[in-house]
Structures are given as C-alpha cells and as structure tokens.
Structure 1
C-alpha cells in the first residue's frame, strides 16, 4: 500500500525578552521555501526534510511537502507570520487525502497570541484530520515540550546532540515510527516528565558532562519492547512562559502497555536533571578576564576561541553587544578576528565606502544598550564588502546556502571585525572564511555563540573559553524580568524545595 504523507518544516526559538517581533519577512530572510523549492534547497543536506525524503524513498511514500521556513531566534512570532505559514500546512491537510503528517518544529515557538506555538499548529491540524491520524514531530533539544504537544502529537523525536548534528537521523527515526503507525502495527503515544527549572544546568550540551550518560540511557531504553523514542529536552530558559524547562518524553506503543514503567523511566531521567541542577561545567567569565587570557595567549596548536555566550543570536540575543570587543581592543589584542557584529546601520554605511578606505563608525550597541554595552566608536580600514552569502561546509550546515545580508569587514587595531545585517550565530568556519578571514590562522577569535560553534571551531582551536558580556542570553537569569513562569522555579528561586 502506498501512503501519502504531508510534511513541513516550521521552526522558531522565541526569546520572549527580545523586543523585536518575528514577522513573516524574518522567516523569508533566513529561509522560506515552498514545495519543490524547499526540496531543492534543503532536500539533500543535514536537514529534517532530507530525512523525511529518505523515508519516502525507503517506504515508497507519496510525499506532499508544503514548506520549509525558519526565522532567526528573536521576539514573539506575529499573528500574521504564524497564520501565513501555519495556514498552508493546515490547508494542505484539508485539500489532500493523507495517511500521516510529519512536521519538523523547534518546540520553543511563542506567538503574540499563544505561548505554545507548536501546540497551536497541532490543534489546528487535529481539527482537520481528527484524533486518529498519526502525527509525528521532530524537535530541537532545546524544546519546551508542553502537555498539549504530547497530547496532540502521537510521535515526538528530539535531537540527541548539542551541537546539533543529527537532524537528518532524527527525521528518519520519526518517519520509521510513522510508517509502522500507518500500517497499524503500533499505536504510538507520548508521555512527559518535567521538573521546575528554566533549563538543564549545562544548556543540554551532549559532548561532555551528565547529558552523555543520560543520552546513553535513552538510546538503551529505546531498544526495550514497546519503546519507540526517548527524548531528553534541555528546555529554553529565555522563554517567559508557563510550560518552560527541561522535559523527558517517551513515545511508546500503547498496544504493548507498560505505561507505568515508561513513565517511571522518564521520571528517573528528569530527577537526575533536577538533582544535578547545581553542577554547572562552564565558567562564564567576565569579558575583562577573557581579554586578559587572550593577551597572555601564545598560539601553539591553534587559536584561542573566545565565545560570547550571552550575545548569541542563535538564542535570541541581538548580536550587537560591544562589551567583549571593547575589552579585546582595550587589552591591545592583535592578530584577531571577531564576529558577527549585527549592525544594519553600520553595514549599509560601509557598503557606501570604498575598500581600502579608513572609516570611523559607531558600532553595535544600538538595539538595547542595557544588554551588552553601548555603541563603540572605532576607526579602521575597510577590507571587504559583501552581499553576505556563504555556503556552509561544517557538520551542522554543510551544503546549505545561507546569508548574513549586506556585510563588511573592517580591521581595527589588529582585529578583523565582521559586520553583518542579519543575525546568525557562529557555527561554521565559512561564516568567516567566505569573507576573507581565516580563523585557523588567527591567534584569537572572538565569536558570538553558545555551544554550536564547538562543532566547527573546536577542531581548529588551541583553547576555548566562554564569557558572559551581559547581553540578552545571559546565564544570570535573575537579571531578566520574568513574569509568567510558575514560581518557585530554579534558578530564580535557588533555595526552593519540591
């Protein structure tokens, strides 16, 4: 029997403290493709869509792919943007005779009108297809998985890696479960365990630390009878919503029973996350300390990588914090690269100048100087102007065509600074190399990212340190104006007892 499967990719990680709403144009600017265009752009890379297509070829499905759309993390998704992207997915479900739905989501979308964006989409789809059709969703490891999502999606499969490198594999697993569900072999359902925390102590990093053992336990439990998928979600603490925080989900076969056992397993992992809430591995140093380390650094095996965790555009940071760059300049750091500095005004100004000119600009700090520093007046040599396009070649975005928008490189006192229009975190070497900067050849590389940079930059690094510039993705959550999260909650209420 040939099954017809509806697929779509619709993702946003919403930082509710970011004052910039995420509109339809923000989705189109990062990537927004429909139908065959989406398949052409994303269908043969490390993407969920590629995994869905792998399953389609393997099982002989007729796939109806509606769209692939994602905006950079920022403020709440507007009603207009949500309706214009969720609408075609729902309409396609109405217009076609389908047997199942596969969706690539994020799990931390908040809209202007609903703090559970994924739950809202699933609710609209269930109103069309009814309660029995299999719906599978893939999620980012930083999902805030809500009870509503678990009730409306039969199958939930989240990434097991951070940096995220298993997108295609996760989609294949969700598709394989979907195939069995459509054939009637299994009746998948998903249960959830949760603890009152904003996120897992180490942001869910899976390269070192306690998540390594938890993921091993999850993979082992997936081999148990009746278990289809286990997902350990670190949560996304920059969302000021009711259902925030780390969760463990188990997608199981309801025909096989053992629900109490599966719930107990999920609770055991969730309890481990709670018990280890104080075990923070990273030291998020002040920018002055990071600059002092950079000053003393002597390159042997590779550059010193200084990651500004707090100004991560990949978590909804504005990307225009100046505190780290100022500290590096004040310390007299030479032979260095820094990027990206998200500053539309400066990037467009530099595009009106000539390469080789000496220019003076007020850089960064324009969005909300309370978070990460005020504009920095600098003078330097304009080395490059660009449309901002690059093609990734690393483990996360290899083969994908992406863009920073109109961009420029200005060299200031020995530091080459990449100035861009569109926010995006550093996670691929091409984000420097495409603009004439070879990060491996530098002594110091300052970049804006939390964890994803490690996939591409750790192999070239002599040493890696992380700092907190005081920007919007600060790890010091008590500096943020939470109003909607349930209290008490860790770490806002550090002495709480459950």
Structure 2
C-alpha cells in the first residue's frame, strides 16, 4: 500500500524495504483489529459475517518516491507466500492505495491484482482505494468489487472498506452479481478537502446520493494523485451495480459531466507562508493551525522544507512546528541532551524540494522515541516518527523527527509536552488531513503554500510526462 510521487524520486531516490511497515499472520490481526483503517474495516465486516479470516500480508510505507523494483519484488513475494499459506479462499480483501508506482512508471496496484488473480483465479476480489487513487484502466477486469473513500480528510476509510467487505462476502454467497464500470477523465484535481462550502463537498454528496439508488452498490469519485506523472494518473469515477452495466455507465457519466462543468471551481487560491502567518496573527484569539501545504509527507514531500518554519521564526509570538524531518539534527540533540543549547542546521537538505536550511541556536527541551497512537484519521493505529527532539528556537518549539511522516493529529505534540492551546500558531507538515485531528484544538485552520514538487498549485509544478496534457496543466484538455 503506497502513494508514489514520481516527482520526488530525483530528490529522495526510491522507496526501499526499510520504509515499509509489514505485518503478517496473527500479527496483522493484532495490529489492525479495532482500528479506523481499511484493514480494520475489513476485519469488522468479516467478524459480523462470521467469516473465517486467513491473514496473509500487509505492507505500508509513508507516501514518498516511487518504489524500487527490488523492494517491490520482495514485498510481492511476501504477499504471494501469505496467500499460499492461507490456501484456497472464497474472498480476497485488498488494501491498495491506487497510486502506487514501481519505478520508473509501472502500476504497483495492477501488478498486485494480477498476482492475486493468478494465485486465486476463482476468488471474489475486493479492493478499497484512497480518494487520491490513479485508477488504472485494467481495474474493472481485475477486481469484482471496488470502493474508495468519500471524505478528505479520509475519516471514512474503515466504513468504505467495511462496505467492500460486505459486498464481497455477499457475492461469494451468490447474493450479488457485481458489475464494475470505470470512467477516466482528462484532469487531475488539486488537493481538495470535503469541507463545508467546497466543491469537493458537493461532489461527495453527489456520489453519496447515487449510492442510494436502487441497484447501485458503490460509487466513488477518485480525485487522482497529481504528484505521480504516469499514464495511470487521472481523476476517475468507479461505479459498482448489481448486474446492471447500463446503470453503472450512466452513473459514471453523470459524475464525469458534473466534474467537467465544475472543474474551474477546484482551482486553489494560494497563500504564501509569510502571508499565512500574518493572516493567522491578524485574526481573533485562539490557536491557528497552519498546514505546510507544499511539503506534506502525506503527498510524498521531503518533510524538511523550511519556508513555513522561517515565517514562524520571524515572529515573536509563541509557535510550534511539527515535524521537521532531520535525522542529523535529532542525533545532535540526543548527543547534547535535554537542557543543552547548541548550534543547529535545520532542514533544507533536498535542494529545491526543501528550501535553504535554517542556521539557528536552539535548546533541547525533550527527547522521545516518537511513537504515538493516532486519535483521528487511522484512529487506534500506531505511528512511528522515529527518535524525536523538541528544540526551542526563539519563540518556536520545533519538533524534529528521524522519520518522515505526516502530522494527522496533536499526538506527536502532546508526546513532547506541547499543548496546542498554549501557542498562537501551530505549523504542521500536512495539507488537509490535519483538519480532522486538530478540529477540537484550533480556532482556525489555514494552509501555507511555497514552491516545491508537491505544492498545491499543481499546474505550476515542472513536469514532462503524461500529466502535462491534463487539466489544469493543460487548459485545452477535452472532456473525455
């Protein structure tokens, strides 16, 4: 399960085996049972149906550059071994992002599906994918059931996979005869949260309403992942009906027509970091949480861009910044120890993708192992930021991490003794998912934009591959 940014491969190399958290057998059940994750939703569906679960293999890495071929072969072999050990099964439930890439440009998700089909040709195969999946054209012939998230932030992951599990089990019992239809559009949506008043919320409501129609089992609009410059990248619609291909096609067309007619509404008004900080301070009282929208590890960003951090350091108001990916800085802080003051070179380690490093003097306030349990999106699932240090630079508490990871909720702040309400501004390495986790702690939420290969202004990112021909990169892209 991987969201692969091919635009970051030049800066970060390829995703290697050490980047993946892997679980198999009973360890998989221990890790995911009761969690608000795709696999957690599958396990709930199986438990409620009284289905015998044979856990095979699960691997996930933080979004990042394309997966190295040798790494992918090793993971695929582990999956194949897990399936072989499980024996003949009626149903296969797959947790796939949908925007996985084996370097340089092969679809990871298609390869996984083909592997599963070859090993269990008669099984019902269900797939739950991320809202930002780049759905490949081969999907309808490889999967019997397809669902995806409706919400962004993805707070409905477990609900959507539970639906996929229910439909797959019903199909195996002979109660349903699913038909899958896909419509791909010549466009890619920029990061578009389903917040009140947004076009993404209207789009979500449309597919939800379609799902309530007789004969429709599932309908998902996939925004696409604009940081993968591959043939698979595109916005798409997938509808599953109970043996009604005409209805499935009509539903896909309806959503596609809506998207084409409303696509200009999805363009983003960008807010530079300095302007975002100024806007936050000019508002009313309370903590303002600012997402570092151009350097989100959840989009494959390097996680060490310094543009927003610099804007915070230029102001005397108390602030917190979490997390900056900088293993050497963590090591230096750990060596110095809590209470020590030292000169540091923070972030800026990946050229244009990161901005210049910050030269500063800071005091080490806390050292931790960086392990938390997520409390909003992926609720109940552990997350490992690696060894971390809280370093005070001027009026800003900077949480520096040894692992590159998106901040979804306040847990990594709380681990370091940082209460969000004590700060005027909290900057987080996230673009939209933080909205769910910080909803109870923020008076307001903003997103800051700086240049970078994972910026929200996707039409301004240099690219040479197939996505340059899609809207909004190309204003002449037709309604496909």
Q: Does 1:104 align with 2:64?
A: no
Q: Which residue of 1 aligns with 2:413?
A: 432
**Partner residue in 2 for 1:443:** 424
1:324–1:193: structure 2 CA closer, same or farther, 3 Å change rule? same
Instruction: Compute the TM-score of the two structures, normalised by the length of structure 1.
Output: 0.91
Q: Retained in 2: the 8 A contact 1:141–1:162?
A: yes
Give RMSD over aligned pairs: 1.8
Matched residues in 2 for 1:402 and 1:461: separation? 22
The separation in 2 between residues aligned to 1:271 and 1:171, in whole angstroms, is: 27
* Aligned counterpart, 1:126: 117
How far did residue 364 of structure 1 move? 0.2
Residue 347 (str. 1) matches residue 330 (str. 2): yes
Task: Point out where structure 1 has 5 or more consecutive residues left out of the alignment.
Answer: 1-10
Aligned to 1:267: 253
Indicate the residue corresponding to 2:436 in structure 1.
Answer: 455
TM-fit CA distance, 1:129: 2.1
Q: 1:360 aligns to what?
A: 343
8 A contact 1:388–1:403 mirrored in 2: yes
The answer to whether the 8 Å contact 2:370/2:412 transfers is no
Distance in 1 (CA, whole Å) between partners of 2:82 and 2:288 is: 50
Q: Secondary structure of the residue that 1:163 maps to in structure 2? A: coil
Write the deviation string for residues 274-329 of structure 1: whole angstroms up to 9, x where unpaired: 22221137532112212322444552xx2011211111001000010011111222
Paired residue secondary structure (1:64): coil
- Offset at residue 220 of structure 1 (A): 2.6
C-alpha separation between the residues in 2 aligned to 1:396 and 1:486?
Answer: 29
Asked if residue 471 in structure 1 is aligned to residue 464 in structure 2, the reply is no
Measured in 1, the distance between the counterparts of 2:176 and 2:45 equals 18
Q: How many residues align?
A: 475
CA distance in 2, matches of 1:89, 1:78: 17
Structure 1 segment 32-431 matched on structure 2, within 5 A: 32-95=22-85, 96-112=87-103, 115-130=106-121, 132-197=122-187, 199-203=188-192, 205=194, 207-254=196-243, 257=244, 259-280=245-266, 282-297=268-283, 299=285, 302-330=286-314, 332-367=315-350, 369-392=351-374, 394-431=375-412
The farther-off stretch of 342-351 and 260-269 is 260-269
SS at 1:141's partner residue?
coil
Q: Following the alignment from structure 1 to structure 2, what is the Cα–Cα distance between the partners of residues 431 and 486?
A: 35
Q: Distance in 1 between matches of 2:310 and 2:272?
A: 12
State the 1:416 CA deviation.
0.3
Alignment map for 1:5-24 (pairs within 5 Å): 11-19=1-9, 20=12, 21-24=14-17
* Counterpart secondary structure, 2:62: coil
Report the secondary structure of 2:352's partner residue: coil
Does the Cα contact within 8 Å between 1:283 and 1:467 map onto a contact in 2? Answer: no
CA distance in 2, matches of 1:213, 1:184: 35
Distance apart, 1:338 and its partner CA: 0.8
8 Å CA contact 1:201, 1:279 repeated in 2: no
Q: 1:281 to 1:435 in 2, by over 3 A?
A: farther
Paired residues of 1:310 and 1:471 also in contact (CA < 8 A): yes
User: Are the counterparts in 2 of residues 321 and 469 from structure 1 also a CA contact under 8 Å?
Assistant: no
Tell me the CA shift for residue 486 of structure 1.
Answer: 5.2
Q: Distance in 2 between matches of 1:358 and 1:347?
A: 13
Alpha carbons 1:282, 1:466 under 8 Å: kept: no
Q: Secondary structure at the match of 2:440?
A: helix
Counterpart CA distance in 1 for 2:173 and 2:283 is: 60
What is the CA distance between 1:408 and its match in structure 2? 0.3
* 1:449 alignment partner, SS class: coil
1:342–1:423 Cα contact (<8 Å) kept: yes
Deviation, structure 1 residue 81: 2.1
| Distance in 2 separating the partners of 1:248 and 1:142 | 12
Residue 25 of structure 1 pairs with residue 18 of structure 2? yes
* Displaced runs of 4 or more, over 6 A: none
How far residue 170 of structure 1 moved from its aligned partner, in angstroms, is 1.2
CA distance in 2, matches of 1:136, 1:404: 31
Mark the CA change 1:457 to 1:126 in structure 2 (over 3 Å): closer, same or farther: same
Unaligned residue ranges in structure 2 (runs of 5+) = none
Deviations 1:10-42 (A, max 9, x none): x10001111221111100xxx322111121121
C-alpha contact 2:319 2:425 (8 A) present in aligned 1: yes
What TM-score, normalized to structure 2?
0.94
Instruction: Assess if the C-alpha contact under 8 Å between 1:195 and 1:271 holds in 2.
Output: no
Q: Deviations over 1:404-458 (max 9, x none)?
A: 1011011111100000111111111112111111112211111111110000213
1:168-206 CA distance string (max 9 Å, x none):
211211111111111122222311112111x22553535
Alignment partners' CA distance in 2, 1:142 and 1:120? 18
Distance 1:156 1:52 in 2: 13
